[in-house]
Protein backbone atom coordinates (compact mmCIF):
# COMPACT_ATOMS: atom_id res chain seq x y z
CA UNK A 1 0.00 0.00 0.00
CA UNK A 2 1.21 3.47 -0.91
CA UNK A 3 0.58 6.59 1.20
CA UNK A 4 0.74 10.39 1.00
CA UNK A 5 0.69 13.20 3.55
CA UNK A 6 -1.58 16.24 3.66
CA UNK A 7 -0.37 19.07 5.90
CA UNK A 8 -2.66 22.00 6.76
CA UNK A 9 -1.06 25.06 8.42
CA UNK A 10 -4.25 26.57 9.84
CA UNK A 11 -4.92 29.65 11.94
CA UNK A 12 -5.55 27.79 15.20
CA UNK A 13 -3.35 24.77 14.58
CA UNK A 14 -1.71 22.42 12.11
CA UNK A 15 -3.55 19.28 11.03
CA UNK A 16 -1.65 16.46 9.36
CA UNK A 17 -3.23 13.47 7.60
CA UNK A 18 -1.69 10.28 6.30
CA UNK A 19 -3.94 8.65 3.69
CA UNK A 20 -3.52 5.53 1.58
CA UNK A 21 -3.90 5.22 -2.19
CA UNK A 22 -7.63 4.42 -1.81
CA UNK A 23 -8.22 7.61 0.14
CA UNK A 24 -8.62 6.02 3.55
CA UNK A 25 -7.17 7.95 6.48
CA UNK A 26 -4.41 5.93 8.13
CA UNK A 27 -3.59 8.52 10.81
CA UNK A 28 -4.29 12.11 11.78
CA UNK A 29 -2.71 14.54 14.24
CA UNK A 30 -3.35 18.09 15.38
CA UNK A 31 -1.12 20.60 17.17
CA UNK A 32 -2.46 23.99 18.21
CA UNK A 33 -0.79 27.38 18.66
CA UNK A 34 -1.93 30.85 19.77
CA UNK A 35 -3.06 33.83 17.74
CA UNK A 36 -1.27 37.03 18.78
CA UNK A 37 -2.99 40.43 18.82
CA UNK A 38 -0.49 43.06 19.99
CA UNK A 39 -2.95 45.86 19.13
CA UNK A 40 -6.71 45.97 18.52
CA UNK A 41 -7.48 44.65 15.04
CA UNK A 42 -4.02 43.12 14.61
CA UNK A 43 -3.43 39.39 14.10
CA UNK A 44 0.02 37.80 14.01
CA UNK A 45 1.68 34.45 14.71
CA UNK A 46 5.12 33.00 15.32
CA UNK A 47 6.13 30.86 12.32
CA UNK A 48 8.47 28.87 14.56
CA UNK A 49 5.31 27.51 16.19
CA UNK A 50 3.94 26.52 12.78
CA UNK A 51 7.12 24.60 12.11
CA UNK A 52 7.14 22.97 15.53
CA UNK A 53 3.52 21.87 14.97
CA UNK A 54 4.37 20.44 11.55
CA UNK A 55 7.29 18.43 12.88
CA UNK A 56 5.24 17.20 15.84
CA UNK A 57 2.24 16.08 13.77
CA UNK A 58 4.38 14.45 11.07
CA UNK A 59 6.11 12.41 13.75
CA UNK A 60 2.77 11.49 15.29
CA UNK A 61 1.12 10.24 12.10
CA UNK A 62 4.15 8.16 11.22
CA UNK A 63 4.50 6.61 14.67
CA UNK A 64 0.77 6.01 15.28
CA UNK A 65 0.15 4.51 11.83
CA UNK A 66 3.06 2.11 11.82
CA UNK A 67 3.48 2.81 8.11
CA UNK A 68 6.94 2.18 6.66
CA UNK A 69 8.63 5.41 5.56
CA UNK A 70 9.47 3.95 2.14
CA UNK A 71 5.72 3.60 1.40
CA UNK A 72 5.06 7.36 1.79
CA UNK A 73 5.41 8.86 -1.67
CA UNK A 74 4.79 12.58 -1.22
CA UNK A 75 3.58 15.58 0.78
CA UNK A 76 0.90 18.13 -0.08
CA UNK A 77 0.64 21.51 1.63
CA UNK A 78 -2.27 23.79 2.42
CA UNK A 79 -3.02 26.45 4.99
CA UNK A 80 -4.36 29.85 5.88
CA UNK A 81 -4.20 32.25 2.96
CA UNK A 82 -2.96 35.85 2.54
CA UNK A 83 -0.53 35.92 5.50
CA UNK A 84 2.87 37.54 4.92
CA UNK A 85 6.11 35.94 6.10
CA UNK A 86 8.93 38.44 5.55
CA UNK A 87 12.39 36.89 5.17
CA UNK A 88 15.80 38.59 5.18
CA UNK A 89 18.96 37.74 3.22
CA UNK A 90 19.81 34.96 5.68
CA UNK A 91 16.28 33.48 5.44
CA UNK A 92 15.44 34.72 8.92
CA UNK A 93 11.96 35.95 9.77
CA UNK A 94 12.05 39.77 9.90
CA UNK A 95 8.93 40.25 12.06
CA UNK A 96 5.88 38.20 13.05
CA UNK A 97 3.75 37.41 9.98
CA UNK A 98 0.63 39.54 9.49
CA UNK A 99 -2.36 37.21 9.04
CA UNK A 100 -5.47 37.08 6.85
CA UNK A 101 -7.75 38.37 9.62
CA UNK A 102 -5.58 41.40 10.45
CA UNK A 103 -7.39 44.71 9.86
CA UNK A 104 -4.55 47.26 10.04
CA UNK A 105 -4.28 47.91 6.29
CA UNK A 106 -7.52 49.81 5.52
CA UNK A 107 -5.60 52.95 4.50
CA UNK A 108 -3.26 50.97 2.27
CA UNK A 109 -6.23 49.31 0.53
CA UNK A 110 -7.75 52.71 -0.18
CA UNK A 111 -4.44 53.95 -1.55
CA UNK A 112 -4.04 50.88 -3.80
CA UNK A 113 -7.55 51.34 -5.18
CA UNK A 114 -6.98 55.05 -5.79
CA UNK A 115 -3.62 54.51 -7.46
CA UNK A 116 -4.61 51.69 -9.83
CA UNK A 117 -8.36 52.27 -10.08
CA UNK A 118 -11.08 49.96 -8.77
CA UNK A 119 -12.13 48.56 -12.15
CA UNK A 120 -8.57 48.33 -13.45
CA UNK A 121 -7.52 46.41 -10.34
CA UNK A 122 -10.23 43.82 -10.97
CA UNK A 123 -9.13 43.62 -14.62
CA UNK A 124 -5.52 42.97 -13.60
CA UNK A 125 -5.83 40.70 -10.56
CA UNK A 126 -9.55 39.79 -10.62
CA UNK A 127 -10.23 41.11 -7.11
CA UNK A 128 -10.61 44.38 -5.17
CA UNK A 129 -8.16 45.50 -2.48
CA UNK A 130 -9.17 43.99 0.86
CA UNK A 131 -7.45 44.25 4.24
CA UNK A 132 -6.90 40.49 4.38
CA UNK A 133 -4.79 40.35 1.22
CA UNK A 134 -0.98 40.30 1.12
CA UNK A 135 -0.11 43.35 -0.99
CA UNK A 136 -1.44 45.95 1.47
CA UNK A 137 0.53 44.21 4.24
CA UNK A 138 3.75 44.70 2.29
CA UNK A 139 2.96 48.38 1.78
CA UNK A 140 2.02 48.76 5.46
CA UNK A 141 5.44 47.38 6.43
CA UNK A 142 7.16 49.81 4.07
CA UNK A 143 5.25 52.79 5.47
CA UNK A 144 5.24 51.88 9.16
CA UNK A 145 8.36 49.78 9.76
CA UNK A 146 10.88 51.02 7.16
CA UNK A 147 13.85 49.45 8.95
CA UNK A 148 12.19 46.03 8.78
CA UNK A 149 11.11 46.60 5.17
CA UNK A 150 14.71 47.36 4.20
CA UNK A 151 15.69 43.85 5.35
CA UNK A 152 13.10 42.01 3.24
CA UNK A 153 14.28 39.92 0.29
CA UNK A 154 11.41 37.39 0.09
CA UNK A 155 7.71 37.32 0.99
CA UNK A 156 6.13 33.90 1.54
CA UNK A 157 2.62 32.74 2.35
CA UNK A 158 2.27 30.60 5.51
CA UNK A 159 2.26 27.17 3.87
CA UNK A 160 5.09 28.26 1.58
CA UNK A 161 7.27 29.10 4.56
CA UNK A 162 6.73 25.50 5.69
CA UNK A 163 7.63 24.37 2.16
CA UNK A 164 10.91 26.27 2.51
CA UNK A 165 11.60 24.55 5.83
CA UNK A 166 10.80 21.14 4.31
CA UNK A 167 12.68 21.52 1.03
CA UNK A 168 14.89 24.62 1.12
CA UNK A 169 12.97 25.92 -1.92
CA UNK A 170 11.13 29.22 -2.39
CA UNK A 171 7.88 28.40 -4.19
CA UNK A 172 4.14 28.93 -4.13
CA UNK A 173 1.22 27.79 -6.26
CA UNK A 174 -1.51 29.53 -8.18
CA UNK A 175 -4.48 29.22 -5.80
CA UNK A 176 -2.71 30.76 -2.80
CA UNK A 177 -0.92 33.34 -4.95
CA UNK A 178 -4.34 34.48 -6.22
CA UNK A 179 -5.08 35.92 -2.78
CA UNK A 180 -2.09 38.25 -2.67
CA UNK A 181 -3.57 41.00 -4.92
CA UNK A 182 -0.30 40.71 -6.86
CA UNK A 183 -1.23 37.78 -9.11
CA UNK A 184 -2.61 37.89 -12.65
CA UNK A 185 -5.35 35.32 -12.05
CA UNK A 186 -6.37 35.18 -15.72
CA UNK A 187 -2.89 34.28 -16.93
CA UNK A 188 -1.74 32.43 -13.77
CA UNK A 189 1.41 34.49 -13.18
CA UNK A 190 2.62 37.41 -11.09
CA UNK A 191 1.26 40.75 -12.31
CA UNK A 192 4.22 42.89 -13.32
CA UNK A 193 1.91 45.86 -13.89
CA UNK A 194 0.45 45.82 -10.38
CA UNK A 195 3.79 45.14 -8.69
CA UNK A 196 5.41 47.97 -10.64
CA UNK A 197 2.57 50.36 -9.81
CA UNK A 198 2.88 49.51 -6.12
CA UNK A 199 6.71 49.57 -6.24
CA UNK A 200 6.97 46.01 -4.93
CA UNK A 201 10.00 44.14 -6.35
CA UNK A 202 9.12 41.11 -8.44
CA UNK A 203 11.95 39.25 -6.72
CA UNK A 204 10.04 39.42 -3.44
CA UNK A 205 7.63 36.75 -4.66
CA UNK A 206 8.59 33.08 -5.16
CA UNK A 207 8.14 31.08 -8.34
CA UNK A 208 4.56 29.91 -8.84
CA UNK A 209 3.50 26.36 -9.80
CA UNK A 210 0.27 24.50 -10.50
CA UNK A 211 -1.04 22.78 -7.38
CA UNK A 212 -0.11 19.12 -8.16
CA UNK A 213 3.34 20.04 -9.52
CA UNK A 214 6.44 19.03 -7.61
CA UNK A 215 8.09 22.11 -6.08
CA UNK A 216 10.95 20.46 -4.20
CA UNK A 217 11.99 17.34 -2.30
CA UNK A 218 12.21 16.59 1.40
CA UNK A 219 15.55 17.50 2.98
CA UNK A 220 17.44 14.66 4.62
CA UNK A 221 17.75 16.32 8.02
CA UNK A 222 13.98 16.95 8.10
CA UNK A 223 13.15 13.44 6.90
CA UNK A 224 15.35 11.89 9.58
CA UNK A 225 13.70 14.08 12.21
CA UNK A 226 10.09 13.15 11.36
CA UNK A 227 10.45 9.55 10.21
CA UNK A 228 10.00 10.01 6.47
CA UNK A 229 12.17 9.09 3.50
CA UNK A 230 14.55 11.79 2.19
CA UNK A 231 13.89 13.08 -1.31
CA UNK A 232 10.13 12.46 -1.52
CA UNK A 233 8.33 15.16 -3.54
CA UNK A 234 6.55 18.10 -1.98
CA UNK A 235 3.86 19.38 -4.36
CA UNK A 236 2.47 22.87 -4.76
CA UNK A 237 -0.65 22.17 -2.72
CA UNK A 238 -3.29 24.87 -2.38
CA UNK A 239 -4.75 27.66 -0.31
CA UNK A 240 -7.08 26.28 2.33
CA UNK A 241 -10.27 26.96 0.36
CA UNK A 242 -8.98 25.47 -2.91
CA UNK A 243 -7.52 22.43 -1.14
CA UNK A 244 -10.73 22.03 0.84
CA UNK A 245 -12.68 22.09 -2.43
CA UNK A 246 -10.48 19.31 -3.84
CA UNK A 247 -11.19 17.37 -0.64
CA UNK A 248 -14.91 17.85 -1.35
CA UNK A 249 -14.64 16.85 -5.00
CA UNK A 250 -15.43 20.33 -6.35
CA UNK A 251 -13.48 19.75 -9.55
CA UNK A 252 -16.14 19.89 -12.30
CA UNK A 253 -18.75 22.40 -13.49
CA UNK A 254 -22.07 22.47 -11.65
CA UNK A 255 -20.75 21.13 -8.34
CA UNK A 256 -20.46 23.72 -5.57
CA UNK A 257 -19.52 23.52 -1.91
CA UNK A 258 -21.20 25.35 0.94
CA UNK A 259 -18.97 25.23 4.00
CA UNK A 260 -20.43 26.37 7.31
CA UNK A 261 -17.65 26.77 9.84
CA UNK A 262 -17.10 29.91 11.90
CA UNK A 263 -17.42 31.70 8.57
CA UNK A 264 -19.48 30.55 5.61
CA UNK A 265 -17.89 29.89 2.21
CA UNK A 266 -19.59 29.23 -1.12
CA UNK A 267 -17.04 27.79 -3.56
CA UNK A 268 -17.87 27.27 -7.25
CA UNK A 269 -15.73 25.56 -9.88
CA UNK A 270 -15.25 27.43 -13.15
CA UNK A 271 -13.76 26.32 -16.48
CA UNK A 272 -12.90 29.92 -17.31
CA UNK A 273 -12.11 33.21 -15.62
CA UNK A 274 -15.46 34.62 -14.47
CA UNK A 275 -15.51 38.01 -12.76
CA UNK A 276 -18.04 39.95 -10.74
CA UNK A 277 -17.54 43.56 -11.88
CA UNK A 278 -18.53 44.78 -8.41
CA UNK A 279 -15.89 42.60 -6.72
CA UNK A 280 -18.42 41.06 -4.32
CA UNK A 281 -16.97 37.56 -4.72
CA UNK A 282 -13.39 36.43 -5.26
CA UNK A 283 -12.13 34.89 -8.48
CA UNK A 284 -9.01 32.79 -7.87
CA UNK A 285 -7.08 30.08 -9.67
CA UNK A 286 -8.26 26.63 -8.63
CA UNK A 287 -5.98 23.84 -7.44
CA UNK A 288 -7.08 21.98 -10.59
CA UNK A 289 -4.53 22.92 -13.29
CA UNK A 290 -5.88 25.39 -15.83
CA UNK A 291 -9.13 25.96 -13.91
CA UNK A 292 -10.52 28.70 -11.67
CA UNK A 293 -12.99 29.14 -8.85
CA UNK A 294 -15.41 31.78 -7.64
CA UNK A 295 -15.81 32.19 -3.88
CA UNK A 296 -18.13 34.15 -1.62
CA UNK A 297 -17.43 34.51 2.10
CA UNK A 298 -19.76 35.50 4.94
CA UNK A 299 -18.01 36.21 8.23
CA UNK A 300 -20.41 34.86 10.88
CA UNK A 301 -22.07 31.63 9.78
CA UNK A 302 -21.43 28.96 12.39
CA UNK A 303 -20.11 31.83 14.47
CA UNK A 304 -23.67 33.16 14.75
CA UNK A 305 -24.93 29.87 16.17
CA UNK A 306 -21.95 29.71 18.52
CA UNK A 307 -22.84 33.21 19.76
CA UNK A 308 -26.40 32.03 20.43
CA UNK A 309 -25.11 28.92 22.23
CA UNK A 310 -22.74 30.86 24.48
CA UNK A 311 -25.16 33.73 25.18
CA UNK A 312 -28.57 32.11 25.47
CA UNK A 313 -28.22 28.30 25.57
CA UNK A 314 -26.72 27.79 29.05
CA UNK A 315 -29.39 25.22 29.95
CA UNK A 316 -28.78 23.26 26.74
CA UNK A 317 -25.02 23.29 27.41
CA UNK A 318 -25.52 21.96 30.94
CA UNK A 319 -27.87 19.18 29.82
CA UNK A 320 -25.53 18.25 26.98
CA UNK A 321 -22.56 18.02 29.34
CA UNK A 322 -24.48 15.64 31.61
CA UNK A 323 -25.65 13.53 28.66
CA UNK A 324 -22.31 13.50 26.90
CA UNK A 325 -23.85 15.13 23.81
CA UNK A 326 -23.07 18.17 21.68
CA UNK A 327 -25.15 21.20 22.81
CA UNK A 328 -25.72 22.06 19.16
CA UNK A 329 -27.82 18.90 18.89
CA UNK A 330 -30.21 20.22 21.53
CA UNK A 331 -30.31 23.66 19.92
CA UNK A 332 -31.16 22.30 16.46
CA UNK A 333 -33.74 19.92 17.95
CA UNK A 334 -35.41 22.97 19.50
CA UNK A 335 -35.16 24.85 16.22
CA UNK A 336 -36.90 22.00 14.41
CA UNK A 337 -40.03 22.58 16.52
CA UNK A 338 -40.44 26.11 15.13
CA UNK A 339 -42.24 26.53 11.79
CA UNK A 340 -40.56 27.32 8.47
CA UNK A 341 -39.85 31.04 8.42
CA UNK A 342 -39.86 31.28 12.22
CA UNK A 343 -43.22 33.08 12.10
CA UNK A 344 -41.73 36.21 10.60
CA UNK A 345 -38.55 36.37 12.67
CA UNK A 346 -35.60 37.24 10.41
CA UNK A 347 -31.95 37.23 11.50
CA UNK A 348 -29.21 39.28 9.83
CA UNK A 349 -25.95 37.41 10.60
CA UNK A 350 -23.60 40.41 10.53
CA UNK A 351 -22.17 39.95 14.02
CA UNK A 352 -18.63 40.86 12.90
CA UNK A 353 -19.48 42.94 9.85
CA UNK A 354 -19.75 41.30 6.45
CA UNK A 355 -17.63 40.45 3.42
CA UNK A 356 -19.97 39.01 0.73
CA UNK A 357 -21.98 40.66 -0.69
CA UNK A 358 -21.61 43.69 1.58
CA UNK A 359 -17.98 44.61 2.24
CA UNK A 360 -19.11 46.46 5.36
CA UNK A 361 -17.15 46.26 8.63
CA UNK A 362 -19.87 48.31 10.38
CA UNK A 363 -22.79 45.96 9.60
CA UNK A 364 -24.20 44.28 12.71
CA UNK A 365 -26.55 41.45 13.61
CA UNK A 366 -30.29 42.04 13.74
CA UNK A 367 -33.30 40.05 14.94
CA UNK A 368 -36.19 41.58 13.01
CA UNK A 369 -39.85 40.88 13.66
CA UNK A 370 -39.79 39.79 17.31
CA UNK A 371 -43.21 39.29 18.93
CA UNK A 372 -44.62 37.80 22.11
CA UNK A 373 -45.19 34.55 20.20
CA UNK A 374 -41.50 33.98 19.64
CA UNK A 375 -39.56 31.51 21.79
CA UNK A 376 -35.96 30.33 21.95
CA UNK A 377 -36.88 27.73 19.34
CA UNK A 378 -37.92 30.49 16.93
CA UNK A 379 -34.70 32.43 17.55
CA UNK A 380 -32.55 29.34 17.01
CA UNK A 381 -34.34 28.52 13.76
CA UNK A 382 -34.16 32.14 12.60
CA UNK A 383 -30.38 32.02 13.04
CA UNK A 384 -30.14 28.86 10.93
CA UNK A 385 -32.34 30.48 8.28
CA UNK A 386 -30.48 33.80 8.39
CA UNK A 387 -27.16 32.08 7.76
CA UNK A 388 -28.75 30.18 4.86
CA UNK A 389 -29.98 33.51 3.44
CA UNK A 390 -26.44 34.85 3.76
CA UNK A 391 -25.05 31.86 1.87
CA UNK A 392 -27.74 32.38 -0.78
CA UNK A 393 -26.41 35.90 -1.32
CA UNK A 394 -23.19 34.36 -2.64
CA UNK A 395 -25.02 31.72 -4.67
CA UNK A 396 -27.17 34.38 -6.34
CA UNK A 397 -24.07 36.33 -7.38
CA UNK A 398 -22.44 33.15 -8.69
CA UNK A 399 -25.56 32.29 -10.71
CA UNK A 400 -25.66 35.84 -12.07
CA UNK A 401 -22.10 35.36 -13.33
CA UNK A 402 -23.25 32.39 -15.42
CA UNK A 403 -21.62 29.72 -13.28
CA UNK A 404 -23.82 26.58 -13.36
CA UNK A 405 -25.21 25.18 -10.10
CA UNK A 406 -26.54 21.61 -10.20
CA UNK A 407 -25.55 20.34 -6.76
CA UNK A 408 -24.33 21.88 -3.51
CA UNK A 409 -22.10 19.82 -1.24
CA UNK A 410 -22.39 20.64 2.44
CA UNK A 411 -19.27 20.62 4.58
CA UNK A 412 -17.95 22.04 7.83
CA UNK A 413 -19.56 21.78 11.25
CA UNK A 414 -22.92 23.00 9.94
CA UNK A 415 -23.17 19.99 7.63
CA UNK A 416 -23.62 17.71 10.64
CA UNK A 417 -27.14 19.10 11.17
CA UNK A 418 -29.73 17.53 8.87
CA UNK A 419 -32.12 20.37 9.71
CA UNK A 420 -29.59 23.01 8.67
CA UNK A 421 -28.85 21.13 5.44
CA UNK A 422 -32.58 20.94 4.67
CA UNK A 423 -33.00 24.65 5.37
CA UNK A 424 -30.15 25.40 2.95
CA UNK A 425 -31.69 23.12 0.31
CA UNK A 426 -35.05 24.89 0.70
CA UNK A 427 -33.62 28.43 0.80
CA UNK A 428 -31.46 27.82 -2.29
CA UNK A 429 -33.89 25.52 -4.15
CA UNK A 430 -31.08 23.09 -4.97
CA UNK A 431 -30.23 19.62 -3.62
CA UNK A 432 -27.79 19.51 -0.70
CA UNK A 433 -25.52 16.48 -0.48
CA UNK A 434 -22.88 15.19 1.90
CA UNK A 435 -19.88 13.04 1.03
CA UNK A 436 -17.95 10.20 2.64
CA UNK A 437 -15.05 12.32 3.95
CA UNK A 438 -14.97 15.41 6.15
CA UNK A 439 -11.29 16.02 6.83
CA UNK A 440 -11.05 19.55 5.45
CA UNK A 441 -8.19 21.07 3.43
CA UNK A 442 -5.59 18.53 4.63
CA UNK A 443 -7.42 15.82 2.70
CA UNK A 444 -7.35 17.85 -0.49
CA UNK A 445 -3.65 18.55 0.01
CA UNK A 446 -3.04 14.81 0.35
CA UNK A 447 -4.94 14.14 -2.90
CA UNK A 448 -2.79 16.75 -4.65
CA UNK A 449 0.29 14.93 -3.34
CA UNK A 450 -1.15 11.67 -4.69
CA UNK A 451 -1.37 13.27 -8.14
CA UNK A 452 2.11 14.76 -7.95
CA UNK A 453 3.65 11.48 -6.83
CA UNK A 454 2.02 9.52 -9.66
CA UNK A 455 -0.66 7.57 -7.78
CA UNK A 456 -3.33 9.32 -9.86
CA UNK A 457 -3.11 10.89 -13.29
CA UNK A 458 -5.12 14.01 -12.50
CA UNK A 459 -6.90 15.82 -9.69
CA UNK A 460 -10.21 14.72 -11.17
CA UNK A 461 -9.08 11.07 -11.16
CA UNK A 462 -8.01 11.37 -7.51
CA UNK A 463 -11.41 12.76 -6.49
CA UNK A 464 -13.32 10.17 -8.53
CA UNK A 465 -11.39 7.35 -6.84
CA UNK A 466 -11.82 8.55 -3.26
CA UNK A 467 -14.93 10.76 -2.89
CA UNK A 468 -18.58 9.73 -3.16
CA UNK A 469 -21.96 11.18 -2.22
CA UNK A 470 -23.55 9.45 0.79
CA UNK A 471 -26.65 11.58 1.47
CA UNK A 472 -28.90 13.89 -0.55
CA UNK A 473 -31.67 16.25 0.56
CA UNK A 474 -34.02 17.62 -2.10
CA UNK A 475 -35.60 21.04 -1.62
CA UNK A 476 -39.22 21.05 -0.41
CA UNK A 477 -41.09 23.21 -2.91
CA UNK A 478 -43.56 24.71 -0.44
CA UNK A 479 -40.75 25.69 1.91
CA UNK A 480 -38.77 27.20 -0.97
CA UNK A 481 -41.70 29.39 -2.03
CA UNK A 482 -42.07 30.72 1.51
CA UNK A 483 -38.34 31.28 1.90
CA UNK A 484 -38.27 33.26 -1.37
CA UNK A 485 -40.66 35.76 0.22
CA UNK A 486 -38.62 36.04 3.40
CA UNK A 487 -35.34 36.28 1.46
CA UNK A 488 -36.61 39.38 -0.39
CA UNK A 489 -37.25 41.03 3.00
CA UNK A 490 -33.85 39.84 4.30
CA UNK A 491 -32.07 41.53 1.39
CA UNK A 492 -34.01 44.77 1.80
CA UNK A 493 -33.26 45.01 5.52
CA UNK A 494 -29.52 45.57 5.03
CA UNK A 495 -30.13 48.39 2.57
CA UNK A 496 -32.64 50.00 4.94
CA UNK A 497 -30.26 49.76 7.91
CA UNK A 498 -26.90 50.45 6.28
CA UNK A 499 -26.88 54.15 7.13
CA UNK A 500 -27.76 53.43 10.74
CA UNK A 501 -24.98 50.83 11.06
CA UNK A 502 -22.51 53.57 10.07
CA UNK A 503 -24.07 56.05 12.49
CA UNK A 504 -23.74 53.64 15.40
CA UNK A 505 -20.10 52.96 14.44
CA UNK A 506 -19.38 56.70 14.59
CA UNK A 507 -20.99 56.99 18.03
CA UNK A 508 -18.88 54.10 19.32
CA UNK A 509 -15.65 55.35 17.75
**Model confidence band, residue 196 (pLDDT cutoffs 50, 70, 90):** very high
Does a structural domain hold residue 317? yes
pLDDT at 361: 82
Tell me: do 345 and 427 sit in the same domain: yes
Assess whether 224 carries a catalytic annotation: no
- Quote the pLDDT of residue 353: 87
My answer on whether 146 and 234 are in the same domain is: yes
Q: What is the pLDDT of residues 130-177, one digit of tens each?
A: 888 999 999 999 999 999 999 999 999 999 999 999 999 999 999 999
Q: Is residue 297 part of a domain?
A: no
Are 216 and 330 within one domain?
Answer: no
Would you state the pLDDT for residue 156?
98
**Averaged pLDDT score across all residues of the chain:** 95
Q: Same domain, yes or no, for 328 and 239? A: no
Buried b (16+ CB within 10 A) or exposed e, 122-149: bebbbbbbbbbbbbbbbbbbbeeeeeeb
- Nearest-CA neighbor of 442 among 160, 247, 223, 248? 247
Same domain, 376 and 485: yes
> If you compute the radius of gyration of the chain from its CA atoms, what whole number of angstroms results?
22
Of 230, 248, 266, the last residue of a domain is 248
Mean pLDDT score, 470-477: 96
Percentage with pLDDT > 70 across the chain: 100
DSSP 8-class letter at 283: E
Helices of type H across 117-266: 118-125, 134-144, 146-151, 158-167, 174-177, 192-197, 220-226, 240-247
How many domains does the chain divide into? 2
Do the domain assignments include residue 127? yes
C-alpha 244/C-alpha 68 separation (Å) is 27
Answer for the pair 206, 160: CB distance below 8 angstroms, yes or no: yes
Half-sphere exposure of 423 (CA within 13 A, CB side): 30
In a domain, 289, yes or no: no
Q: At what angle do helices 314-323 and 327-335 cross, to 10 degrees?
A: 120
Q: Give the DSSP letter string of 46-81.
A: -HHHHHHHHHHHHHHHHHHH---GGGEEEEEEEE-S
Instruction: Quickly state the pLDDT bin for 360 (edges 50, 70, 90).
Output: confident
Do 238 and 331 reside in the same domain of the chain? Answer: no
Catalytic residue among 20, 160, 176, 240: 240
Angle at 218 between CA 215 and CA 224, to 5 degrees: 170
Question: Quick one: pLDDT at residue 187?
Answer: 97
Global pTM exceeds 0.75: yes
My answer on whether 493 and 412 are in the same domain is: yes
Residue 438's pLDDT band, with cuts at 50, 70 and 90, is confident
Residue 212: closest CA among 251, 183, 186: 251
Q: Which of 165, 176, 290, 156 is nearest to 216 (CA)?
A: 165
Least confident range from 87-96, 286-295, 349-358: namely: 349-358
Of 233, 248, 263, the last residue of a domain is 248
Residues 240 and 320 in one domain: no
Mean pLDDT on 435-445: 93
Q: What is the pLDDT of residues 235-251, one digit of tens each?
A: 999 999 999 999 999 99
Whether 235 and 353 map to the same domain: the answer is no
CATH number of the domain at 193, please: 3.30.420.40
**Is there a domain that residue 311 lies in?**
yes
pLDDT, position 304: 94
Kindly state whether residue 447 falls inside one of the protein's structural domains. no
CA distance 310 to 331: 11
Residue 47 lies in a domain: yes
How far is it, in rounded angstroms, from Cα 106 to Cα 109?
5
Integer Cα distance of 89 and 154 in angstroms: 8
> Could you please report the per-residue DSSP string of 82-105?
S-BEEE-TTS-B-SPPBPTT--TT
Band of the pLDDT at 299, cuts 50, 70, 90? confident
Band of residue 262 on the pLDDT scale cut at 50, 70, 90: confident
Quote the domain boundaries for residue 342. 302-435+476-508
Q: Could you tell me if 220 and 311 lie in one domain?
A: no
In this structure, of 43-57, 322-336, 397-411, the range with the lowest mean pLDDT score is 397-411
Whether residue 52 is found in the same domain as residue 177? yes
pLDDT at 279: 85
Q: What integer is the mean pLDDT of 435-447?
A: 94
- For residue 181, being part of any structural domain is answered with yes
Residues 358 and 487 grouped into a single domain: yes
Amino acid sequence: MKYVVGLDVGTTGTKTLLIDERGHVAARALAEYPLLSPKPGWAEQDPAQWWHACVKTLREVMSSSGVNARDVLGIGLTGQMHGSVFLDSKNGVVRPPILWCDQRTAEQCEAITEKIGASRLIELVSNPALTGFTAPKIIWLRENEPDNYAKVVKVLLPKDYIRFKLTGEFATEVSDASGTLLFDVKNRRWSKEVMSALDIPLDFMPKSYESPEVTGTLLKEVADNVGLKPGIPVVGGGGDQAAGAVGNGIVRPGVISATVGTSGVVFAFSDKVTLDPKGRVHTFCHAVPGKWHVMGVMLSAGGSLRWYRDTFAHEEKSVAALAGRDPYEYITEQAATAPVGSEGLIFLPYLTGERTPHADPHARGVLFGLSLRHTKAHVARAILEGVAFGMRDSLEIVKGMGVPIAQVRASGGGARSKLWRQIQADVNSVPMVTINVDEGPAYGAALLAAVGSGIFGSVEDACDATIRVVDKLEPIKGNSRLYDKYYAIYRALYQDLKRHFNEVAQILA
